[in-house]
Amino acid sequence: MSNETKQILTTDGIPLEISLKKAERKNKIKAFLLVAPLLLFLIITYIFPIGEMFTRSIDDKMITNMLPKTFKSMETWDGKELPSEEVFASFLSDFKILVDKKEHGKLAQRLNKEKNGFNTITKKLFRQVKRNKIDETQSIKEQIMKVHKRWRNVEYWQAIKRTAPPYTSAKYLKAMDMYLNEDNKITQVSEDRRIHRILWLRTVEVAFFVTVFCFLMGYPIAHLLATLPMKYSNLLMICVLLPFWTSLLVRTASWMILLQQQGVVNDFFVIIGLVSDDNRPEMMYNKVGTYVAMTQILLPFMVLPLYSVMKTISPSLMRAGKSLGGTPFVAFWKVYFPLTIPGIGAGCLLVFILAIGYYITPALVGGASGTLISNQIAYHMKTTLDWSFASAMGLMLLGGVLVIYWLYNKLVGVDNIKLG
């Protein structure tokens, strides 16, 4: 067999197999070269920076570089009683370098995050150093301990030691309202300061309910669009596509007008007698506003995949189901509905993922209850400039989205996402 294949030669006298492989490889390289520019561009400007978010979120090198000698001499310290003279001496020498570089403030800030009270005692120490009050020929330990009573407290030295590793999981714990306590155990922050967990839950809740509402409203109209004759359905399709192409902020603005207390929706409720004129319900700056506006904004993303799946289902299937004795409901439930599951999956996935990263609309119409995790990320990026914390929360969100994507792939299989 192998002899025979070897005998087939091309006109150049090269065996066909080799020649074919060569051509194949050439084609592969050609195809790859076409994709390469975009792939490279995305890897450099997008994929790498997402990776950088990770290193940034666990990075704690700043203080490791600030106190190199201290951490070196602390290696032998057991952390139970006050450290030795050597540790104090190396701490002072590190500190003096920081004072020269005017970076002692940063150190105080970082240490204060680890344990409250460092700000004051670092400032006190700074003043002593500035005035050259510390005599290096005598015991440095005694002198530092005299600066403030907290320098005599072993807990503060333990806190310094805890900051030694160049990496930290603190940002991730903080995003879950937890922290590492003195014994390196994960502890919850006190009840009144658990803000992030509320935000995570609220984000998931909003995304979930918006997906449910979109499904409940999108399914009937997608069905209608798919079953109506072309000339009517094309006209109705405009109702779906026009919002789809319209700016998100325009749609949010119109909901702000509709839902305000003197707005059209409230006017309508008063006219039909649902509410009295002087008792108009507040529909904006609460969850009602968020749900209504987000559902309308994301509804096209549910309708379009559903429609494209329903369009391929032959109407004769329903007729067959009915002719075999099923009532219209049974025929729908047993024949039509299972066939639309890929569309439902695609629509729900799309809406949920879009909703979970949303923050423009909730921030504008949701009031205080419209703060979602994305708002928090934006807030830390722009206002507090705690970029590592923002990165940590962003990656946690991304992890959640990827898990959903994976689940979807397992349950439904990634269909081509169709865009209408």
- Least separation, in Å, of the C-beta of 119 and other proteins? 29
Contact 306, 340 (CB under 8 A): yes
State whether the Cα torsion 180-181-187-190 is positive or negative: negative
Q: How many residues does the chain have?
A: 420
SS3 188: strand
Per the listing, tokens 């009937």 go with 220
Closest to other proteins by CB, 99 vs 224, is 224
SS3 167: strand
- Least separation, in Å, of the C-beta of 263 and other proteins? 7
- Least separation, in Å, of the C-beta of 180 and other proteins? 25
**Which residues have C-beta within 8 Å of that of residue 357, sequence separation ≥ 6?**
374, 397, 401
Closest to other proteins by CB, 283 vs 356, is 356
Contact 379, 335 (CB under 8 A): no
Lookup: tokens for 241: 């596509």
Question: What is the H or E stretch that residue 162 is in?
Answer: helix 154-162
Give CA–CA dist 251/238, Å, rounded. Answer: 16
Lookup: tokens for 130: 């500035």
- Least separation, in Å, of the C-beta of 318 and other proteins? 13
Closest to other proteins by CB, 187 vs 261, is 261
Closest to other proteins by CB, 73 vs 361, is 361
Closest to other proteins by CB, 185 vs 245, is 245
Closest to other proteins by CB, 97 vs 217, is 217
Closest to other proteins by CB, 147 vs 331, is 331
Closest to other proteins by CB, 144 vs 302, is 302
Contact 323, 238 (CB under 8 A): no
Closest to other proteins by CB, 119 vs 409, is 409
- Least separation, in Å, of the C-beta of 157 and other proteins? 35
Closest to other proteins by CB, 140 vs 221, is 221
- Least separation, in Å, of the C-beta of 269 and other proteins? 15
Closest to other proteins by CB, 50 vs 154, is 50
Give the amino acid at 120: T
SS3 358: coil
- Least separation, in Å, of the C-beta of 15 and other proteins? 21
Residue 195: which of 384, 374, 373, 387 has the closest Cα? 373
Strand partners, 261: none
SS3 203: helix
- Least separation, in Å, of the C-beta of 113 and other proteins? 21
Lookup: tokens for 169: 């999981």
Give CA–CA dist 318/330, Å, rounded. Answer: 10
SS3 142: helix
How would you label 311-336 residue by residue, b for 16+ Cβ within 10 Å and e otherwise? eebeeeebeebeeeebeeeebeeebb
- Least separation, in Å, of the C-beta of 144 and other proteins? 39
- Least separation, in Å, of the C-beta of 412 and other proteins? 15
- Least separation, in Å, of the C-beta of 221 and other proteins? 5
Cα angle 236, 247, 393 (rounded to 5 degrees) comes to 120
Local structure of residue 132 (DSSP, 8 states): T
